A and B are shown apart, each in its own frame.
Chain A
Amino acid sequence: MNQDFLFKASNISKYYGQNIGCKNVSLDINPGEVLGIVGESGSGKSTLLNCIHGNLEVDEGDIFLNDKSKTILNFTKISEPKLRLIQRSDLAFVHQNPRDGLRMNISAGGNIGERLMAIGHRNYGEIREIAANWLEKVEIDVSRIDDKPSTFSGGMQQRLQIARNLVTRPRLIFMDEPTGGLDVSVQAKILDLLRNLVRELGIAAVIVTHDLAVVRLLADRIIVMQNGNVIEAGLCDQVLDDPQHKYSQLLVSSVLQV
């Protein structure tokens, strides 16, 4: 077994009554790696992401995190509070809709600071300074620190959500369509930001997207899902340039040149 792994999910299945959410999915991620999950709407990408993040209870399978102290934790065996703590420290989750990942009624600085406080920061001045620093990193004017995110544009909200998630220096970040719903120039800004942060901080990421151009630029490896099953997995450019499965071929050939 690969002992350097950061995160591993084995044989994950999730059913919604009679319907399959995802079935028998296994994946593993090493530190610093970016894994893309692609497939059309309803293919089970988001279900899988929510399962492996621990948001959604799985019906079958195990999820392991190799935590900071090199202890291997099994999400399905640890207590709820312990899981929540891991979700706030080792992990992060960026939602497609920033409103799902932000607290809209507290200030931008508060949104970032809240995460710091959750892991034990108490010095107000320090928290504010870190928050300002992160606003700068995600290219939001620091003068907006006391404004509520409801006064921000969609692209700014998404960048704020990323800052809120990264401030605690997670080791693995889950992203559900992080650039979906944003116009192309804003997408570029976010992609650029994500890539820099992934490299700078050495964090690993799992990105769910239906946008193949986005995965090509960000992911090292990808998995292709259809009807809850993984139908193809491998090197990102290999799966996109020479897909072996009928459905992956259709998926790749259905988009404009990327």
Chain B
Amino acid sequence: MIQIKNLNKSFQLYNQNDTNINVFKNINFRVNKGEIVALTGNSGTGKSTLLKLIYGSYVISKGDVLISDINIRKSSPRDILKLRKNKLGYVSQFLRVVPRVPTIEVVIEPLLEIGCEKKIALKKAQEILERLNIPKNLWNLSPLTFSGGEQQRVNIARGFIHNYPYLLLDEPTASLDQNNKNVVLDLIEKAKINGSAIIGIFHDETARNKVATREVNLENL
């Protein structure tokens, strides 16, 4: 279960006239196993910020984020890295990888991190890349040369190759065609059935309606 308790986030920008930006205040909700909560609200309401707070990339100003019994605000960097490696997945819109590393190697990385045998990891990667319609002749090339949609699917392959019990999705279907969008939605649905607790941002309403069990609108909180 992911639990958000009285969560506040503000940014203090010291070099920009000490501006203080309040993103949101007192957010409360919880996501159980097998649930997908879709975050909604206009641009600038803090949807991506909330995901980054849960993932530990942003610093919590006030309140708590609990992932099962782990309190993110109180966790050391090492604890957060361990949590990410084993339990907490995050699929963003942007692919950040070391240049020159082939796609297949990028995709198996999360499995190697948890000590999976390379042979098994490669097999899983092939399956998921095939499923996501990434042409086989691209697997040994760096994804940095790919189109936006292809890069996003590599990111998705990487995010879904390991069955994370907690999953954060930032626009996972944003630049995909209908066919690939459906593949991704199926992957999300499957993760839900497997019992993952998922929080996602889906601008595409049909996609959202298809997978979300509930919506949390950040404007009404």
Contact = CB atoms under 8 A, between A and B. Distances in A.
A253 B15 contact: yes
Interface string A169-192: 000000000000000010011011
A235 B100 contact: no
A232 to B, nearest CB: 11
B59 interface: yes
B13 A235 contact: no
A191 B97 CA distance: 11
A191 B144 CA distance: 15
Interface string B63-102: 0000000000000011011000000000000001111110
A237 B81 CA distance: 11
B81 A220 contact: yes
A216 B80 CA distance: 16
B62 to A, nearest CB: 14
Contact of B59 (A217, A238, A249): A238
B181 interface: no
Contact of A189 (B56, B78, B100): B100
Nearest to A236: B77
B11 interface: yes
Contacts of B112: 199
Contacts of A24: none
A1 interface: no
Interface in A224-258: 234-235, 237-238, 241-242, 244-246, 249-250, 253
A221 interface: yes
A30 interface: yes
Nearest to A254: B15
Contacts of B58: 238, 241-242
A26 to B, nearest CB: 14
A195 interface: yes
A234 B57 CA distance: 10
A63 to B, nearest CB: 20
Contact of A191 (B14, B15, B57, B98): B98
Given A195-B98, A250-B15, A244 B77 contact: no
Contacts of B12: 244
A250 B16 CA distance: 10
B52 interface: yes
B57 A188 contact: no
Nearest to A242: B58
B11 A242 contact: yes
8 contacts: A192-B98, A217-B98, A235-B56, A237-B56, A238-B58, A242-B11, A250-B15, A253-B15
Top-3 shortest CB links A-B: A188-B99, A246-B14, A235-B77
Given A192-B99, A216-B96, A241-B58, 4 more contacts: A220-B77, A235-B81, A238-B59, A250-B15
